[in-house]
Each structure stands twice: as C-alpha cells, then as structure tokens.
Structure 1
Amino acid sequence: MSVSQLRIAALVVALACLAPAIVSAQSVGTISGTVSDGSGGVVPGAVVIARNQGTSAQREALTDGSGRYALPLLPIGTYAVTVTMSGFRTEEKTAVNLEVEQSLSLDFTLQVSAVNAEVTVSSTVADVVLQRSDASLGQLINAQQVAELPLNGRNFVQLALLGPGTVAGRAGSFLAQGPSSEVSYRGSMSVSAQGMRENANDWLFDGIDNNELTAGGVGILPSIDAIREFKVLTHNYDAQYGSRGGTTVLVSSKSGENSFHGTVFEYFRNDALDARNFFDGPQKRKWRQNEYGFSQGGPIVRDKTFFFVDFQGNNIREGLTTLLTVPTALMHQGIFTESFPNAPAVDIYDPSSTRVDPATGVNVRTAFDNRTIPANRIDPIGKKLLDLL
C-alpha cells in the first residue's frame, strides 16, 4: 500500500471515530404523550414510531402501564408520528415540527379497528402547542425568521433581540466594533440580557461551547444559510445551561436530507448607490462591500448518510474620512508667522538655547528671530517625513 493510500485510510478512520461525537452534539428535543382509546381509557403496550420526514430516520417506543410514551433526544426536524396497537386503527400525525430544546406533548386517541382498517392521517402543522413539561422562558427563532428577516451584515446575533429581556449592547464596546478588540470583528453588535454584561452570555452551537474564552464574545459566527433555528433562553432554564449569568443562545445548524437543497447568494454595497457623507468634501469616500457564498445539502446514501456544506466570504474595501490638522506650506519651510482664528501666531524657541536664569533659577530659552527656524537647523530626515503630510 502506497503512502497516499495509507493517508486516505487514516483519514477515513479518523472521520469514523469522530462521527459518534458529531451525532451526539446535535440539537435535540423530546416528543412525549399519552395514548388512549375512544372511551378515555389508557392503552398500554402501543407502539409509537417517530420518523424524520427529511432523513427517514426512525425512533420507536412502547407505552407504559399508564399509556405514556417518551421519545427523548430526537434531532430537531419535521416528523411523522405513528401509533399502532392490535385491535385498533393505526393513527398517524404528520408535519410535526420538533424545535431545539422543545418538550413536545403529543397525545393520541385510538379507535377500535374494523375488518378493513385504514390508516387515519392528521396534520398538526397548524396546531399551537403549549409547553407544559417545564417552566423555562425563551424565544425560538425558526428557520423562516432566520432566512427572511432583514439583517445588517447577515449577523444572526441581531435576531436574539426578539427574545424577552434582551437589548443591544453598547455600540463601539469591546464586543461590538470596539477599537483594539479581537472579538468585535466577529459581529457588528452584541446582546445584553437580563441586565447583565454582554460577555455574560453563553453561546452553544449544535450543543458545543461556542464562546470566545478571552472576552466572552461569539467564537464562530455561522452563515445565515447554515442555521436551521436558534433559541434564546432567558428564565428558568435547566441547570445544564447555568454556566453564565446572562442568556443562553442555542444555535442549531442545518443538515442534509434525502432531497438536495441549497442556496447561492451575493449581496453588495457600492458608494455609487450611497449619498455623500457630510464630512467627505466634494468627493465621496470609496466603499465596496461584497458578501457572497453558497450552501448545499443532500444524501450520500439515501436514508443513511447525508452531507451539508456552506461557505461565506465578506470583502470590504473602504476609504476613511478623517479630519486632521496638518502643517501649512510656510510651516514646511520652518516659517511660523501665520495666525488663524482663535489661534494667534506663537514664538518658536531654539531647543539648544535652554539654560537656567541666574536671577530666577528657572529654565529659559531664546526664541528664533521672526518666528522662523533657520534652514540649516532643520533635520533633513524630519523634513522628508514632514513633506509626506
């Protein structure tokens, strides 16, 4: 076996070892409920199957003696949930949307089966489900909101402001475009929740810690096209999310399914479309911004193995308008006789003439004649640097 073949084999083995960790880090939810008959009595031993309508992956559970069932740790997605029991008609609910960290309660009522029983299919797509399993408060930002709500710079952090108790952090701070900040470039804004500082938030990406550890910002800012949904937890959430005093943001990425889906995008901003800045003068400053990328997901082996990839680039070319005080043409020659409003001409002193006045005991200097520095006293290197202004 050649060296290249050995390297490929080692890569395949490494990826296979990583696969269980990747699966366990996915964002998950729970579907549970009660199965009863037409008279209201519970039905123990019924088979409950949840099938992901995108990947065809299935999970199965049996109802207990109280007719209860639970399907924990289901990857988020859209499911068809089927209940079967001998002597009863099969019941199925489709388009059941399971969201991140959701405990969805789904009850079934089975009818006695006839000789020629058929499957009864009902959709729950329009149902409003009340969260009864826990008292946590938060705001889910679903896939449609992520894709369609306008965002400045395609920064998903702005959507966290839809959650209760959240406000935008101070503009220009260390976490939001602040000077000399190694984390502000990851996003154009930060979030303050429950009155806490912006660096008190906890960011999780597919269940993995996504915090920038030195300052508390977002470690990796995913592309909008790679986010399925995310949830902003604000009050009474589980102890597993209690590592920080602010809010906890759970971001869930998209995944491949049995059908191919993808996007291609290009957003641009050009100074030809902008108004002139008041401080620009007669010529507008240059501004060219391009955000571009793609996403693609689909099956590798149908019903078994899937892929999803995405890429985003952001190029900004801009000119900066800055107000500066620069030397005049006479000052370049060492002549300081000019005066300006609220700035009269001042004497220029010879630094080499500094001495102690014997009468007063303080340092004194001699001013140059006519407020002019002799040409032979001007350093040639300093003169060349001055001429660059």
Structure 2
Amino acid sequence: MQTSAKRLGAAISKLTLVFCLIPGAIRLSAQTGTTGTITVAVQDDPSASAVPDAVLELRDLGTNDVRKALTQQSGVYTFPNLPFGLYQLTIIAKGFQREVFESVQVQTARATEITATLRLGGATETVRVIADATPLVEVASTVLATTIDTKQVVNLPIQGRNVFNLAFTTPGFAVTPLAVVSQTTLSQGPQDNTIPTSGTYNNLPGAAIVGASLDGVPGISNRFKSAGFSYGTVVVQPRLENIAEMTVQTGQMDLSGGAGTSTLQINLVTRRGTNAYHGRLFEDFRNTALNANTWINNATRLPRNIIKLNDFGGSIGGPILKNKLFFYGSLAESIAPLSRVSTATVLSPGAQQGLFSYKTSSGALQTVNVLQVAGTAGYPSTVLPNISSQLTKINGILSAGTLIPTSDPNILTLNHVVHARQTIHYPTLRLDYSARENMRFSVVYNQTSTVCVPCNSPTWPGGINPYDNGSVNPFNRIASFSF
C-alpha cells in the first residue's frame, strides 16, 4: 500500500511539473490574492522582551499539513502563502512553557497577527489558548478589507447562488441605482449578475475601477473594469457551492492588492478538500405561479413572463491520499425556460395602403395618398411586390402579440412574448498536493458555459425572419496553478 502511494505521489509530482513547463496551459495564480498570512510575535512575561529562535509549528487542521520556522532576532516571524482555513500554532522556547493556539483563522488576502507572551517554566508545561485568533485591523497598510465566508450565507434566502453580488453588501458601500439589463437580451436570464453602475466604498470611487480575481486569476475583462460595469459580470460565475471565501479590499490599494489598476479589489477562492469527506446536494426552484405580473405587462394586457428555474447540483471533497493529496469537485446546472417581451414597429393598415397622415403647422391632421402622388409623377402607383410580400407576412403574425397605438398615426407598436430556454453548466475541480514540507501544489479549474435558444429576442414572432433566431454557446473558464 505504501509503495502504491509513493508511486501515485511521484506521478502527481511529474504531472504538476509538466503543467509548469507548458507555456500558456494554465495561468499561474498570484499568491497575494489567494492566500493569507500569519505574523507571530513572541515575547516573554513580564518584561515583554522579544524571544528569538523560538520554534514555531503551524498545523493546518483540515489537511494536517505542518510548517515549521524560527522567530527572528526581533522575535517575529511571518508565515506567507497560507490557504484559507483553521490552523493550530505551537510555540516552544527554551526556559519557557509551551504555548498552543488551538484555533487560528486564515482568510484570503488578509493578515492574522498573533502576539504570544511566554511564561517561565519547563517545556513539559503547556498553556493552551482556546479563543479564536482572527485577522485584525490592518496596521501595516492603508487597505481596508472585509471577508465574507460563504458558510454565513449558504442557508439564507437570497436570490440566486452568485456570491459576487455580496461584495456590494459589505460595510462602507454606498449604492446608487443598479445597472439596467436590456429586456431584449435573453442570454442574461436569471443569472443575477447585475451590479451597481456606480457607488463608493469608504468615500472612494470603488465601483468605478473594480478588480476581481478568482484563485489569483483576473476575473473581469479590462474593458469592463471602468465605465460603471456596463454588463456587470465576471468571466466565470462564482457560486455558493464552489467558493469558500470572498475578500473585498479597498482604500489606497498598492500593487500587491489591486495589481496597480483597481481602487477596489474582490478576491475569491475556491473551496478545497480536507482529510474529512464532505458533500452536499441542492436545488433552487422558481416558478411562474410564485410570481406576480409586472405593471407593464398588466398595462399592455400581456401574461406573466414565464419563469421555470431549476438550479441544481452537488459537490464533494476529501482526501485521495491522507495528509498528502486532496480534491474538491462540484457540478451544477441551471435550466430555465424564459420569456421576455419584445417590441417591433409596424405600419398602420392605412399606411400600408399608402395613406400617410401628418400634422400641419396649425396642428390639423391631414392624410395624403403617397401612391397617387407617385403615380402622377411617373413612378409606380402600387406597393412593390417584394414589399407587399413582407407586409403580408407581418400582417399574418400580428395576432401573436398586442398592437399599441403611438403618437405617430402611421405606425403601431407590436408587443409579443418571446419564449426561450437557457442551460448553464458550472463545473469546478480543485486538487491540492503536499509533496513535502517546503513544496506544495494546487490546481484549480472553474468553468461557466451557457447554451440558450434563442439568446436574442426575435423582432418578429412566428419565425418569419430566419435570421432573427439565433443560439450561442458562451464558454468561459479560469484555470490556475500555484506552488
């Protein structure tokens, strides 16, 4: 069994090396956006003098991964590039009692500071600190940060499973009106990706220049980072089942936080496996019968827009090799038959016969037969055959919608309901491997792929325009590799 485990470990090491050598195969993640740090300051009691060369042992409670270090002459040491989670910190120094911090929390893109005051005594005596150590107020940087753990919101009755919108519920954000998504764009569907077009974080224009990363890889196209997020989406939708934490940073961002391009940085990190197996199944359900009709639909005598959303999936994570190799995977699918109101402009029955009405300078309504005028001038006095054919097709589908008069007596507005179907797939896979104490690898893959038919609302009902109904298959993915 041990031989098989060694062979598997060697194969994984070779595989990760291949990923490193293939240019462009995957994106190397920026550690500052995917990991946290723990800074330990060791001093004695009661003089509060620094204790150098104290032995520090940091143990990941989820994976049993151990990191060891010695404090510097100043009595301080920083553990960098730590995955999110809970850790146990043990401090041993000659002539002092052993001190153990049972629960030290590491959060994405944040620093946890611990000050340990050692008491005189033997190494066999142990002082255990049960209280949690969490990231404190940042004193070494002007960056302000808030971390949202998805466990805090997974059971809340929120609309949709996109955690990106939660960034705009953190303290310090002043919201302005939401972006308006075109009612004729079916591809958006019930994705709940709309974010504020503008706003401020702590009186900074945070929503004007926003950066977002998923596992260290930029998640927003550069052309969407300013101008108020016209589309308000990230490349791959971060969801409750595959995101562990989201840290919102703002303030005077330095290069390590906003990559030099953001006044607001949102860092998301994918869930990871531990030594314990965990899994979940879920389904979010919405239906037309549960919704009220809109005021506009009622005013124009249209039925409720059809919404039949089934958002379902599952996830599982755990060990492949205990204390060595861990996995996490999730697969979700969102299926939604949709309906939207589309509008078209049609000629009135009189205008189709050449009777055009206009108002004189006195405001009186006059009607003139332009076909007769054309005949008098030597031009055709009847509707051209190709135009007549198009008008016949249009008149044949007018009953599929509702005609609304306009301020122009020559035209009418046709409102009709467009039916569509949208299916979105959300696969996620993460592997973490501890090769040895000073060598660790992580591979993460997230994807969002959409199939919708049609994606854009047809101008005319009944399919009279073969070029008016289209389907697309947007395919977005983010892959990262870190070591």
TM range (shorter): 0.7 to 0.9
Report the residue type matching 1:297 in the other structure.
Answer: G
What is the aligned partner in structure 1 of residue 70 from structure 2? 62
**1:308-351: CA deviations, max 9, x gaps?**
112232222122345777678x76996979xxxx9979444317
Distance 1:144 1:272, change over 3 A: same
Q: Distance in 1 between matches of 2:13 and 2:104?
A: 36
Q: Name which of 126, 131, 139 aligns with 1:124.
A: 131
Distance 1:180 1:215, change over 3 A: farther
1:14-33 equivalence runs, <5 A: 14-18=15-19, 25=31, 27-33=34-40
What is the aligned partner in structure 2 of residue 188 from structure 1? 194
Question: Residue 100 of structure 1: CA displacement?
Answer: 1.6
Question: Residue 256 of structure 1: CA displacement?
Answer: 0.7
Question: Residue 267 of structure 1: CA displacement?
Answer: 0.6
What is the aligned partner in structure 2 of residue 225 from structure 1? 241
Report the residue type matching 1:32 in the other structure.
Answer: T
CA contact (8 A) 2:286 2:310 kept: yes
What is the aligned partner in structure 2 of residue 207 from structure 1? 216
Report the residue type matching 2:18 in the other structure.
Answer: C
Q: Distance in 1 between matches of 2:340 and 2:389?
A: 30
Q: Distance in 1 between matches of 2:83 and 2:186?
A: 36
Q: Distance in 2 between matches of 1:326 and 1:212?
A: 39
TM-score in terms of structure 1 length: 0.76
- The yes-or-no answer on 1:383 pairing with 2:392 is yes
Q: Name which of 105, 109, 121 aligns with 1:101.
A: 109
Distance 1:311 1:291, change over 3 A: same
Q: Name which of 306, 328, 333 aligns with 1:286.
A: 306
CA contact (8 A) 2:41 2:116 kept: yes
What is the aligned partner in structure 2 of residue 51 from structure 1? 59
The answer for unaligned runs of 5 or more in structure 1 is: 1-8, 357-364
Question: Residue 63 of structure 1: CA displacement?
Answer: 1.5
What is the aligned partner in structure 2 of residue 355 from structure 1? 377
Distance 1:250 1:385, change over 3 A: same
CA contact (8 A) 1:47 1:85 kept: yes
- The yes-or-no answer on 1:307 pairing with 2:311 is no
Question: Residue 148 of structure 1: CA displacement?
Answer: 4.1
Q: Name which of 235, 244, 263 aligns with 2:251.
A: 235
The answer for unaligned runs of 5 or more in structure 2 is: 1-9, 22-26, 226-232, 357-362, 399-483
Distance 1:27 1:283, change over 3 A: closer
Distance 1:347 1:275, change over 3 A: same
- The yes-or-no answer on 1:258 pairing with 2:259 is no
Question: Residue 237 of structure 1: CA displacement?
Answer: 3.1
Question: Residue 196 of structure 1: CA displacement?
Answer: 4.0
Q: Distance in 1 between matches of 2:65 and 2:92?
A: 18
- The yes-or-no answer on 1:112 pairing with 2:132 is no
**1:108-136: CA deviations, max 9, x gaps?**
12233359x34332223277844333332
Question: Residue 106 of structure 1: CA displacement?
Answer: 0.7
Question: Residue 283 of structure 1: CA displacement?
Answer: 4.3
Question: Residue 293 of structure 1: CA displacement?
Answer: 1.8
Distance 1:181 1:269, change over 3 A: closer
CA contact (8 A) 1:336 1:345 kept: no
Q: Distance in 1 between matches of 2:166 and 2:104?
A: 24
- CA RMSD of the aligned region, Å? 4.1
Q: Distance in 2 between matches of 1:191 and 1:44?
A: 51
Q: Distance in 2 between matches of 1:190 and 1:251?
A: 19
Partner of 1:263: helix, strand, or coil? strand
Question: Residue 269 of structure 1: CA displacement?
Answer: 0.9
Report the residue type matching 2:333 in the other structure.
Answer: G
Report the residue type matching 2:220 in the other structure.
Answer: N
Q: Distance in 2 between matches of 1:343 and 1:258?
A: 84
Distance 1:202 1:179, change over 3 A: farther
Distance 1:193 1:51, change over 3 A: farther
1:30-45 equivalence runs, <5 A: 30-40=37-47, 41-45=49-53
Decide which structure has the larger Cα Rg and report it: 1
What is the aligned partner in structure 1 of residue 292 from structure 2? 275
What is the aligned partner in structure 2 of residue 162 from structure 1? 169
% identical aligned pairs: 25
Which stretch shows the higher mean deviation, 272-281 or 190-199? 190-199
Which stretch shows the higher mean deviation, 28-37 or 159-168? 159-168
Higher strand share: 2
Q: Distance in 2 between matches of 1:200 and 1:277?
A: 34
Report the residue type matching 1:17 in the other structure.
Answer: V
Partner of 1:17: helix, strand, or coil? helix
Question: Residue 304 of structure 1: CA displacement?
Answer: 0.6
CA contact (8 A) 2:206 2:263 kept: yes
Question: Residue 19 of structure 1: CA displacement?
Answer: 7.2
Q: Distance in 2 between matches of 1:222 and 1:377?
A: 51
CA contact (8 A) 1:166 1:191 kept: no
Question: Residue 380 of structure 1: CA displacement?
Answer: 4.7
Report the residue type matching 1:27 in the other structure.
Answer: T
Report the residue type matching 1:349 in the other structure.
Answer: V
Partner of 1:224: helix, strand, or coil? coil
Report the residue type matching 1:355 in the other structure.
Answer: A
Distance 1:213 1:269, change over 3 A: same
Distance 1:378 1:256, change over 3 A: closer
Partner of 2:224: helix, strand, or coil? coil
What is the aligned partner in structure 2 of residue 362 from structure 1? none
Q: Which one scores higher on RCO, CA 8 angstroms, separation ≥ 6?
A: 2
What is the aligned partner in structure 2 of residue 6 from structure 1? none
- The yes-or-no answer on 1:73 pairing with 2:81 is yes
Q: Distance in 2 between matches of 1:352 and 1:202?
A: 61
CA contact (8 A) 2:104 2:134 kept: no
Q: Distance in 1 between matches of 2:105 and 2:42?
A: 19
Partner of 1:228: helix, strand, or coil? strand
What is the aligned partner in structure 1 of residue 140 from structure 2? 133
Q: Distance in 1 between matches of 2:11 and 2:79?
A: 36
